[in-house]
Amino acid sequence: MAKTHVTMTVNGQTVEGLVESRTLLVHFLRETLSLTGTHIGCETSHCGACTVDLDGQSVKSCTMFAVQAEGANLLTIEGIAHPDGTLHALQEGFREMHGLQCGFCTPGMIVRAYRLLQENPNPTEAEIRMGISGNICRCTGYQNIVAAIQFAAARLNAPALQEQAA
Amino acid sequence: MIPGTFAYHRPASVAEAVALLASLGEDARPLAGGHSLIPMMKLRLAAPSALVDLGAIAELRGVRREGADVVIGATTTTAGLIASAELAAALPILRETALVIADPQVRARGTIGGNVANGDPGNDLPALMQCLGAFYRVVGPAGSREIAARDFYQGAYFTALQAGEVVTAIRIPVPPVGHGWAYEKLKRKIGDYATAAAAVVLVLAGGRVASVAIGLTNVGDTPLVADAAAKILTGSTLDAATVDRAVAAAEAITAPASDGRGPAAYRTKMAGVMLRRALARAATRATH
């Protein structure tokens, strides 16, 4: 089967590759680009471990072909921290509030929460829970994930701290 | 979980897509959001020889008014339905329904056209489209036509769509100002199909039901229109005895499968409960 040339932007970098039409976006990210932070969990569009940000929306990269992302702008967990290596407020939040145990769902949770806080910078607890309803965690019972996102929202909404972070 | 091989095409226009589907033959499939088709392909339950991706066709996206109707492009995503201020004002039941479909990531990719055209009895929008009296615009090798949502579904995954035809838009007559509406869905968890769900649009005049339409989701091989129930309710004040008779009439047309969502008898009863709740909520929202 002939391969297709794809070009897209991932974490600010232009990347390209040759893919089979059936190559899933998550496989392109992990195997061609070696960006293994994006996880494969259920492979059935349910668990959200493979969540990436694509043109300003959270998507499940196991349920898209890489060819469909031609020309798209993607953000993965590897692109969440600041360029100088300091952690994003969400990463700080997951660390401070114990938002993970085994950590398998964490990349998808953080990338999803990143978009949620862009859409709704000051969500209620219920809005957070609905916002991450496409991401499954089997360890935490979600309580500390919600707390981690609340921590990040508060941090991002505090002007003084924002300056400090910048 | 790797799909079989296929040839990938990404046309820029509907005409090009229809020509491609005609030349590629019956094993080619159109690809919209892909959130029904790609999972099926990963399980090898579907193995199309070619996919014609509709994602780059600008004319298939967006919401517009045509006289008294709203016309929604087929590749408008579920998230796009939720975000549309025009739809929230004209067709609030569509937004209410879209919000209980799947989860945020799936709503970002899944489309209205794919949801209605796939013929999956678990999908929420087909029964709603029947309730609203919507029409599907399709284009194929023989030209374009409109199919009423109520005539579209023939069985699970069997529809009136002919080989090579693509749904391009959904035309929905806007219900009168002041109508009441509700979509009530019972599901086990986020992302699940309905155990049972009911869509109700009604118009009240002087405290009585001037008109009402009822659609039922996932309690048969196709979405169901509960016309007999609607007839019983028309002219009534939605008094308890009349609602009981209408609910019984709606339950009588259901034929759900017994599955992980419960035995058939339970799902039939839940269809009745969803209808009862939808009627009550629609009545409180109606302003006449």
Q: Is B68 in contact with B61 (CB distance < 8 Å)?
A: no
Retrieve residue B242's tokens: 């009349």
Which residue type sits at B5?
Answer: T
Q: How confident is the model at residue A2 (pLDDT cuts 50, 70, 90)?
A: confident
All residues of chain A having their beta carbon less than 8 Å from the beta carbon of residue B39 are: 44-45, 63
CB contact under 8 A, A46 and B51: no
CB contact under 8 A, B1 and A64: no
Q: What pLDDT was estimated at residue B41? A: 97
Q: Does A31 touch chain B (CB under 8 A)?
A: no
Retrieve residue B120's tokens: 């999956």
Class of domain A4-78: alpha beta
B282 CB burial (10 A radius; 0-12, 13-18, 19+): buried
What dihedral do alpha carbons B243, B153, B187, B209 form, nearest 10°? -20
- The CATH homologous superfamily for domain A89-165 is [2Fe-2S]-binding domain (1.10.150.120)
Q: Does B35 touch chain A (CB under 8 A)?
A: yes
All residues of chain B having their beta carbon less than 8 Å from the beta carbon of residue A1 are: 5
In terms of Cα–Cα distance, which of B122, B10, B97, B100 is closest to B60? B10
For B48-61, what is each residue's pLDDT tens digit? 999 999 999 999 99
Q: How confident is the model at residue A165 (pLDDT cuts 50, 70, 90)?
A: low
B12 CB burial (10 A radius; 0-12, 13-18, 19+): exposed
CATH of domain B58-173: 3.30.465.10
CA distance B266 to A20: 46
Judged by DSSP in three states, A59 sits in: strand
CA distance A131 to A120: 10
Distance (Å) from the alpha carbon of B103 to chain A's nearest alpha carbon: 5
Q: Using the 8-state DSSP alphabet, how is residue B140 labeled? A: E
Residue owning tokens 């569509």: B94
Q: Is B96 in contact with B15 (CB distance < 8 Å)?
A: no
Q: What pLDDT was estimated at residue B31? A: 98
CB contact under 8 A, B8 and A65: yes
- Per domain, the residue ranges of chain B are 7-53, 58-173, 182-285
Q: Does B55 touch chain A (CB under 8 A)?
A: yes
Domain B7-53 listed as CATH 2.30.30.100: no
CB contact under 8 A, B104 and A134: yes
All residues of chain B having their beta carbon less than 8 Å from the beta carbon of residue A41 are: none
Cα-Cα-Cα-Cα dihedral sign, residues A31, A74, A97, B107: negative
What dihedral do alpha carbons B238, B244, B250, B252 form, nearest 10°? -160
- Per domain, the residue ranges of chain A are 4-78, 89-165
The ipTM estimated for the assembled molecules is 0.94
All residues of chain B having their beta carbon less than 8 Å from the beta carbon of residue A62 are: 1
All residues of chain B having their beta carbon less than 8 Å from the beta carbon of residue A20 are: 5
Q: What pLDDT was estimated at residue B288? A: 66
Q: How confident is the model at residue A161 (pLDDT cuts 50, 70, 90)?
A: low
For B126-167, what is each residue's pLDDT tens digit? 999 999 999 999 999 999 999 999 999 999 999 999 999 999
What dihedral do alpha carbons B37, B157, B112, B260 form, nearest 10°? -80
CA distance B120 to B137: 19
Query: What's the mean pLDDT when you consider all of chain A?
Result: 95
- The CATH homologous superfamily for domain B182-285 is CO dehydrogenase flavoprotein, C-terminal domain (3.30.390.50)
Distance (Å) from the alpha carbon of A76 to chain B's nearest alpha carbon: 14
